Amino acid sequence: MATKAQNLAAAIDWAPPPGWPARSRDECTALLTAPGQRFEMETIDIRGVPTRVWKNAPPSLRAIALHGQTHGQREFTIYEDERVTYDAWFRAVAALAHEFQACGIKKGDRVALAMRNLPEWPVVFFAATAIGAICVPLNAWWTGPELAYGLANSGTSLLVCDAERWDRILSLRDECPELNTVFVSRCDGEPEGAKRLENVIGTPPTYAELPSATLPDVAIGPDDDATIFYTSGTTGKPKGALGTHRNLCSNVLSSGFNAACAVLRRGETLPDPVPKTGLNVIPLFHVTACSAGLMGNIAAGNTLIFMHRWDPVEAFGIIEREKVNSTGGVPTIAWQLIEHPERKNYDLSSLEAIGYGGAPSAPELVRKIREVFGALPGNGWGMTETMATVTGHSSEDYLNRPDSCGPPVAVADLKIMSADGTRELGVGEIGELWARGPMVVKGYWRNPEATAETFIDGWVRTGDLARLDEEGFCYIADRAKDMIIRGGENIYSSEVENALYDHPAVTDAALIGLPHQQLGEEPAAVVHLAPGSHADEAELQQWVAERLAKFKVPVRIAFCAETLPRNANGKILKKDLLALFQN
């Protein structure tokens, strides 16, 4: 009898090639983690919990910065006409690290970073963390009051921001009593109440002219505090997830492990590493871009390209001109690259991979990436509280299980628990997903109650509803708070959304619950259609009814001219969609 995964794989017109997989996941893990191998593991005590860790992971972000320096004249960042080599970047990091110390910053002090994706961003991040300070990347999309909340809550004493963010914060500085020093980049003239960052390190094109310098001598351990990333705050005030150097450094090996597994599953030998070029279009203040992306890219000596703002046509030009190998971020970006009518006018043959995380994606997107670009799709699962990567899914495994987010990396564990957290559920049962591993953060900054509720004996309660199959592949069903209960029947958003995505006209979809006097809730959907296509409410309702139980069919369907609204982490803002049904 065919499994659901096999049916979905067939639905996207993919069948495993002969002989695939050449090895099981367990065999791949055994080969890659054997003694003496790059991905060897060991078990250590972390805050009283025995934990598997990557034996060869960098010990700290300081070590990653020092390694980055060894890439020398290879280009690290490209932003418009500004190109910065690894050597020039490190010169700026060292200069700014010494300046931070001169401003009185000590180990454990908070240094906030609030700016769009600019070449200055990784300079500030590593200048702070390399001296043992806790870097606080703030959401550049936040309003002034939201930024002030992050500064005050974290107890930030030094802030580095761009002029746009400073304009939002300036009038609220009195609400940040511990903020003593501010450096502002890319401003005209002297910023009010702050210093110009360029007076310390110059502009990105001149970083190479800075004197060669070493980092200040600070002892940093793997489990020392490194970052505070704020949760997306879709409900209540954002919480600051306190991450360690080990949390972020684990991603260097986790990303490599996932890539190596894909190669071994084909029966191929692992290739020698070759630096790549990636177009990074998701914000660095999010763990996906910073922890899962930036860390591994520096370790590999890759080149990262930033954009002032996302624009598909501009992205096509960059991909063609710079021979970009990988891009992605969230499913919306991949869909826009696929759908845009200008795509055919550009040579995009350099693309090897399009990956994304942060939000569920339609199984159809997996096929489209392979069909349109000849590139391998990739996704994974993680959250702010896990500093990104817990599972990884790519290549043939992803095509074979297009509705999964993959299995956990070798140092991570997943389990499915009952709603009250007292009982582990069996294979295929849906419950709350719990995760553990060296990527799980210490807890929430200055919030012991929420920490005690969410972090239990090394496990993090994710709030996601999921199931695991017999091989350990994870399938996210819904956020626990987003599950719709209609007359006592559970409706998982992803199941209905995937059915809608299967319709050839639908490229973006979200399911929400509408209040109902008798049933409690009823499902309603919001969709965005591909340019030039057509479908009406009745057609889509019939489409879902042919595939799912009748109680899961949306009672109403609204249409959006644009892709659905998302926060910076790629999650659809479902609360903003309710207004579409209030008439």
Question: How far is 113 from 137, CA to CA, in rounded Å?
Answer: 5
| Fold: same for 13-56+242-479 and 88-220 | yes
**Amino acid 480: pLDDT:** 73
Task: Say whether domain 483-581 belongs to CATH 3.30.300.30.
Answer: yes
Q: For residue 99, give both structure tokens.
A: 């300046």
**Amino acid 366: pLDDT:** 85
* C-beta separation of 156 from 173 below 8 A: no
**Amino acid 8: pLDDT:** 61
Q: Where are the domains of the chain?
A: 13-56+242-479, 88-220, 483-581
Question: How far is 98 from 86, CA to CA, in rounded Å?
Answer: 19
Q: For residue 165, give both structure tokens.
A: 């963010």
> In sequence order, what are the residues at sequence separation of 6 or more whose Cβ sits closer than 8 angstroms to the Cβ of residue 579?
none
Q: For residue 538, give both structure tokens.
A: 């009745």
**Amino acid 196: pLDDT:** 98
Helix (H), strand (E), coil (C) string for 313-379: HHHHHHHHHHCCCEEEECHHHHHHHHHCHHHHHCCCCCCCEEEECCCCCCHHHHHHHHHHHCCEEEE
User: From first to last of its 583 residues, what are the pLDDT tens digits of the chain?
Assistant: 345 455 666 666 788 999 999 999 999 999 999 999 999 999 999 999 999 999 999 999 999 999 999 999 999 999 999 999 999 999 999 999 999 999 999 999 999 999 999 999 999 999 999 999 999 999 898 889 889 999 999 999 999 999 999 999 999 999 999 999 999 999 999 999 999 999 999 999 999 999 999 999 999 999 999 999 998 654 467 899 999 999 999 999 999 999 999 999 999 999 999 999 999 998 999 999 999 999 999 999 999 999 999 999 999 999 999 999 999 877 778 888 988 999 999 999 999 999 887 555 677 788 889 889 999 899 999 999 999 999 999 999 999 998 899 999 999 999 999 989 999 999 999 999 999 999 999 999 999 999 999 999 999 999 999 999 999 999 988 777 788 988 777 788 888 998 999 899 999 999 999 988 777 789 999 999 988 899 999 999 999 999 888 889 999 999 999 989 987 767 788 888 999 998 6
Q: For residue 364, give both structure tokens.
A: 């159809």
CATH for 88-220, options being 3.50.50.60, 3.20.20.70, 3.30.360.10, 3.40.50.980: 3.40.50.980
Cis check for the bond before 21: say yes or no (omega within 30 of 0). Answer: yes
> In sequence order, what are the residues at sequence separation of 6 or more whose Cβ sits closer than 8 angstroms to the Cβ of residue 316?
337, 340, 342, 343, 345, 346, 348
DSSP helix/strand/coil, 279? strand
Half-sphere exposure of 391 (CA within 13 A, CB side): 30
Q: What is the CATH number of domain 13-56+242-479?
A: 3.40.50.12780
Q: What one-character-per-residue DSSP string does 224-276 give? A: SEEEEEEP--SSSS--EEEEEHHHHHHHHHHHHHHHHHHHHHTTPPPPPP---
**Amino acid 342: pLDDT:** 95
* C-beta separation of 262 from 397 below 8 A: yes
pTM over 0.75: yes
* C-beta separation of 126 from 297 below 8 A: no
